[in-house]
Amino acid sequence: MEVDDLPVTAPESVEAFLARLTQISQGLPRRLRQCADHIAANVDRIAVSTVAELATGADVPPSALMRFCQIMGYSGFSEMQKMFREAYAPGFPDYATRLKNLKQAGSGTASALLAEFVDAGRISLESLVKSTDEAALTTAVELLAQADTLHVVGLRRAFPIASYLAYVFEKMAVPAMLHDSVGKLDHRHALRAGDAVLAITFAPYSEETIALAAEAHGRGLSVVALTDRLTSPLARSADAVLTVPEVDFGAFRSLSATLALALTLAVAVGARRDETA
Amino acid sequence: MEVDDLPVTAPESVEAFLARLTQISQGLPRRLRQCADHIAANVDRIAVSTVAELATGADVPPSALMRFCQIMGYSGFSEMQKMFREAYAPGFPDYATRLKNLKQAGSGTASALLAEFVDAGRISLESLVKSTDEAALTTAVELLAQADTLHVVGLRRAFPIASYLAYVFEKMAVPAMLHDSVGKLDHRHALRAGDAVLAITFAPYSEETIALAAEAHGRGLSVVALTDRLTSPLARSADAVLTVPEVDFGAFRSLSATLALALTLAVAVGARRDETA
DNA sequence: GGCGTTTTGGAACATTTATTCCAAAAATCC
DNA sequence: GGATTTTTGGAATAAATGTTCCAAAACGCC
């Protein structure tokens, strides 16, 4: 069989790959057919396998598999694998590019800026949907629903979230207290047995929030953390950690995803409390 | 840092991995912390990345990443990657599929709620771009950029927006004052000639906000309104009216679009002030 | 500010993995 | 059944990737 039977361009998507696979699969000699079959049955493992592994699985020598890749239109296995690795790529973590876009837009009109922020928000929301830890979310709802008074704490950039949560809890008649640092007052003595803390902070993490969470944790209260990464210092003292993959531009974080998650939490807690009341 | 701080057994599941990650992540030196953060934020890419790629992403040399793997309890990167490759479930489905799955999780569950809020947010963002009055936005930026001190007022559900604006203005060194009603104090005497008011309110409109806007307007200050409809009572005393078509889900609005518009306004004003300074 | 300790970067090295090539085997055709 | 073409396997080679190690820098502690 000639490698260049057709004017070949390498498939650039999983769909195109599959299409070409079915197109060529009849009329293939024995060993190559074995490759095709095994690959077809294990498309989702291509990204994480080596030539040797796939070849063994297909019960052919590595060289046969190489030939197969070439027949598919790629220069070799590496090129083919690259396509699969990129195809499963998550939507956004192209941090650098986005930042550049925003900077360029910053010098433009307000409308251009708006478009950027809207886009950042949309991407954050999509990525939130893809990455939410459902188990952690359920645990968090459960913990907060069982508690007496909820203590919501979040300062600086997290304060808008905290204040919205306080507002929503109030609307739903869930006893909640918003901890701010007005007058540098410290409200930690307000924590009582049976209460729970909902702490929100993002890098650079604010001391006060972490301290309050730690205090509560030390005293045996439930602590739910809403933060940006699992490695956040908040994770230390939390019984449930919810992370939000927000696209972050220094001070200019869109907060869309964070708000959506916070709101979900609040409403779910409210509903859960009604059920069990 | 010693590699064998603890009697280490290499995590054999993604959960165990994440648990250990949070356990060790504080008290890590700078480079290793960078590794931890980047890894935590890209867990789903470990299976399909090389040491070099991950190291570049974390902005550390490859050797630092190797050390990180060892601290996590593995003999090296290969062993760690092996675990992820075995656990590899072919990437999350795309956004649309995942969203559908979440919704089907059953109404009432937190996941289903999340899907709804995300959806509401996305729709709001989309319609924001379509419906924004560019002229009004430009005027608003102009007015706020020329003013001395900015007075940001927004209560109840608008308060999160107002507080975030105050935060962003502060970060950009734009003189701004957040009007809350702590202690029922009224700050209207803080308004001085040359200042401008940025008032935010949604139905049901809050008296205080409208009153402050009216007062400012009466005294000849510029007033920018961020509200839900052109017929809002705020419109009467405003020199520029920005409206946000936010979609509600249940009784609560996601605020995504409102935040995006607010952020745009703030950043545009900050940039404009720098230019003309 | 010197001294021991920890952390870091990168070059050298080792290992794994991909790829090529060609002679042997099988298939096809006359 | 022999000549010609296609297919195959594996050994040899090339490329890439992972890993170690050590000197230099940074840090923390008297």
The CATH number for A31's domain is 1.10.10.10
CA of B93 to C1' of D26 (A): 45
Q: What is the rounded CA–CA span in Å between residue A257 and residue A140?
A: 17
pLDDT at residue A166 greater than cutoff 70: yes
Domain assignment present for A100: no
Closest CA to A276 of A140, A169, A142, A137: A142
- Identify protein residues whose C-beta is within 7 angstroms of any atom in strand C: A 50-52, 62-63, 66, 69-70, 75-79, 81; B 1, 29-32, 60-64, 67, 78
CA of B181 to C1' of C11 (A): 64
Residues of A in contact with B37 (CB under 8 A): 229, 231
Q: Are residues B205 and B75 in the same domain?
A: no
| pLDDT grade for A195, boundaries at 50, 70 and 90 | very high
Q: Are residues A167 and A43 in the same domain?
A: no
pLDDT, averaged across chain A: 84
Q: Are residues B255 and B177 in the same domain?
A: yes
Q: Are residues B51 and B146 in the same domain?
A: no
Mean pLDDT, to the nearest integer, of A58-76?
91
CA of A55 to C1' of C10 (A): 36
Last residue of a domain, one of A87, A116, A151: A87
Q: B57 beta carbon < 7 A from strand D?
A: no
Last residue of a domain, one of A51, A69, A87: A87
Cβ partners under 8 Å of residue A207, min gap 6:
none
Total domain count, chain B: 2
Contact call for A48 and B47, based on CB within 8 A: yes
Mean pLDDT, to the nearest integer, of B244-269?
86
| pLDDT grade for A7, boundaries at 50, 70 and 90 | very low
Q: Are residues A153 and A48 in the same domain?
A: no
> How high is the pLDDT of residue A140?
96
pLDDT at residue B109 greater than cutoff 90: no
Count Cβ atoms within 10 A of the Cβ of residue B90 and give its class: 0-12 exposed, 13-18 middle, 19 or more buried.
middle
Q: Are residues A158 and A38 in the same domain?
A: no
| pLDDT grade for A186, boundaries at 50, 70 and 90 | low
pLDDT at residue B1 greater than cutoff 50: no
What residue numbers bound the domain in which A74 lies? 14-87
Last residue of a domain, one of A87, A115, A148: A87
CATH number of the CATH domain containing B173: 3.40.50.10490
Q: Are residues B253 and B159 in the same domain?
A: yes
Domain assignment present for B196: yes
Domain assignment present for A127: no
Q: Are residues A145 and A268 in the same domain?
A: yes
Instruction: Give nearest nucleotide to B29 (CA–C1').
Output: C7
Contact call for A118 and B129, based on CB within 8 A: yes
Q: Are residues B235 and B153 in the same domain?
A: yes
> How high is the pLDDT of residue A191?
85
Domain assignment present for A102: no
> How high is the pLDDT of residue A137?
94
pLDDT in tens, A240-260: 999 997 776 555 778 899 999
Strand C nucleotides within 7 Å of a protein CB: 6-11, 16-21
Contact call for B271 and A107, based on CB within 8 A: yes
Q: Are residues A70 and A144 in the same domain?
A: no
Domain assignment present for B19: yes
> How high is the pLDDT of residue A3?
43
pLDDT at residue A175 greater than cutoff 90: yes
Tokens of B273: 């002030």
pLDDT in tens, A213-228: 999 999 999 999 999 8
> How high is the pLDDT of residue A277?
66
Domain assignment present for A151: yes
DSSP string across chain A: --TTSS------SHHHHHHHHHHHHTT--HHHHHHHHHHHHTGGGGGG--HHHHHHHHTS-HHHHHHHHHHTT-SSHHHHHHHHHHHT--S---HHHHHHHHHHHHTS-HHHHHHHHHHHHHHHHHHHHHH--HHHHHHHHHHHHH-SSEEEEE-GGGHHHHHHHHHHHHHTT--EEEE--GGG---GGG--TT-EEEEEE-SSPPHHHHHHHHHHHHTT-EEEEEES-TTSGGGGG-SEEEE------TT----HHHHHHHHHHHHHHHHHHHHH-
Q: Are residues B70 and B140 in the same domain?
A: no
Q: CB of B195 within 8 A of CB of B149?
A: yes
Q: Which of residues 66-95 of A touch strand D (CB under 7 A)?
A: 67, 78
pLDDT at residue B185 greater than cutoff 90: no
Q: Side chain identity at A30, as an amino acid letter?
A: R
pLDDT in tens, B16-30: 898 888 888 878 888
